[in-house]
């Protein structure tokens, strides 16, 4: 009970700070907006999925990209939210938290849940742009994606906190996170299908936890966007010769998340 309260307090502060920082909200929406609306609309015409073997189906690149950009928002926001523990440390506030009679585990969990909430909120805000690119938004789509986004965001936030517990300055954090985030993003299948990749790239994409996050969001989104079964099946990740279904995707993310969570809590407890 005490712990739950402490987690809630740490969570609440991060949400309060997030809501107050309008510039941060707007600037973090800019990137996904550019990818979805400008890049997506621009490249749609010159890119055809006809070669994939379903030329007759009613499907275009935007439908493929949309869940990818949602996933990208979750990825970027989750990992970057962890910067809050670095800034708190830099600006002294972390000391105030650490000297309070609350457990380190509760602090780490509060931070992870705060970042998770922020990532999910940002991703939902991005969905507002859907009609601009001709994706029909429905309550089912938003509500269906919600639990998946939450799980993915939670896992990635744990990774973020794990890395951030080791870093002392925001400059170092930004450098390290770029190195982790950009490869994760490009190899995740957010922008292009992971099928027909060169072997080395295919291998990297399969050990990338973000790939399973993007795949699960895409599989959920495709159900609500009336994408034909054959198309949806084509894009599923293949692991050891089998196409993964949604449950397996989620299981892999949950497993990854659990390992990251334990590691993050331990690293945070040790670092302070």
Partner 1 sequence: MSAIEVRQLTKQFGKLTAVNNISFSVKKGEIFGFLGPNGAGKTTTINILTTLLKPTSGQAEVNGYDVIKQKEKVRASIGLIFQEPSLDDNLTAYENLKFHSWLYGVDKKTQSQRIPAMLQMVGLTDRQKNVVGTFSGGMKRRLEIARGLVHHPKVLFLDEPTIGLDPQTRNHIWQYVLKLREREQITMFMTTHYMDEAEYCDRVAIIDEGKIIALDSVDNLKKTIGGDVIIIKTKDNQRAQQEIKNKWQLEAQQKDDSLMINKQDGGQFIPALFQELSVEIVNVFIRKPTLNDVYLKLTGKEIREERASAKDKFKHNLKMRGRLRGH
**For partner 1, what does the binding mask look like between residues 60 and 99, x meaning CB under 8 A?**
-----------------------x---x--xxxx-xxxxx
Asked whether 101 and 185 are in contact (CB, 8 A), the reply is no
Hey, what are 245's tokens?
């279904």
d(CA 62, CA 40): 6
Residue span 143-162 as binding mask against partner 1, x where in contact by CB under 8 A, dash where not:
--------------------
| Dist. CA 183–CA 68, nearest whole Å | 15
- If one asks whether residue 31 binds partner 1 (CB under 8 A), the answer comes out as no
Q: 160 or 213, CB closer to partner 1?
A: 160
Helix, strand or coil, per DSSP, at residue 245: coil
269 lies in the binding site for partner 1 (CB under 8 A)? no
- Contact indicator for 98, 245 with CB cutoff of 8 Å: no
Give the binding-site size for partner 1 (rule: CB under 8 A). Answer: 26
Residues from 93 through 122 that contact partner 1 (CB under 8 A) = 93, 95-103
- The reply on whether position 20 binds partner 1 by CB under 8 A is yes
* Residue 17 or 44 having the CB closest to partner 1: 17
Of residues 216, 250, 251, 252, the one with CA closest to residue 235: 216
Closest CA to 156 of 130, 125, 188: 188
Neighbours of 228 (CB within 10 A): 14
Q: Which stretch binds partner 1 (CB under 8 A): 18-26, 179-187, 216-224, 252-260?
A: 18-26
Q: Which residues bind partner 1 (CB under 8 A)?
A: 2, 5-6, 9, 13, 16-17, 20-21, 24, 83, 87, 90-93, 95-103, 170
């Amino acid at each position: 009970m005490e712990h739950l309260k402490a987690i809630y307090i740490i969570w609440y502060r991060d949400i309060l700070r997030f809501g107050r920082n309008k510039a941060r909200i707007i600037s973090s929406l800019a990137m996904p907006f550019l990818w979805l609306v400008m890049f997506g609309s621009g490249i749609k015409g010159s890119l055809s999925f006809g070669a994939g073997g379903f030329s007759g189906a009613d499907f275009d690149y935007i439908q493929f990209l949309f869940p990818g950009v949602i996933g990208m928002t979750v990825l970027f926001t989750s990992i970057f939210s962890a910067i809050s523990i670095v800034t708190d440390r830099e600006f002294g506030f972390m000391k105030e938290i650490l000297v309070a009679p609350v457990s380190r585990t509760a602090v780490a969990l509060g931070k992870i849940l705060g970042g998770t909430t922020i990532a999910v909120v940002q991703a939902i805000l991005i969905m507002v742009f859907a009609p601009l690119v001709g994706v029909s938004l429905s309550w089912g789509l938003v509500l269906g994606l919600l639990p998946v986004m939450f799980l993915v965001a939670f896992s990635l936030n744990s990774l973020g906190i794990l890395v951030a517990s080791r870093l002392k300055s925001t400059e170092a954090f930004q450098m390290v996170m770029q190195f982790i985030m950009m490869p994760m993003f490009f190899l995740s299948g957010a922008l292009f299908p992971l099928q027909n990749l060169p072997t080395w790239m295919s291998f990297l994409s399969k050990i990338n936890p973000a790939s399973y996050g993007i795949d699960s969001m895409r599989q959920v989104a495709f159900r609500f966007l009336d994408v034909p079964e054959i198309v949806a099946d084509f894009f599923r990740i293949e692991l050891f010769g089998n196409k993964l279904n949604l449950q397996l995707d989620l299981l892999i993310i949950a497993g990854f998340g659990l390992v990251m969570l334990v590691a993050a809590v331990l690293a945070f407890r040790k670092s302070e």
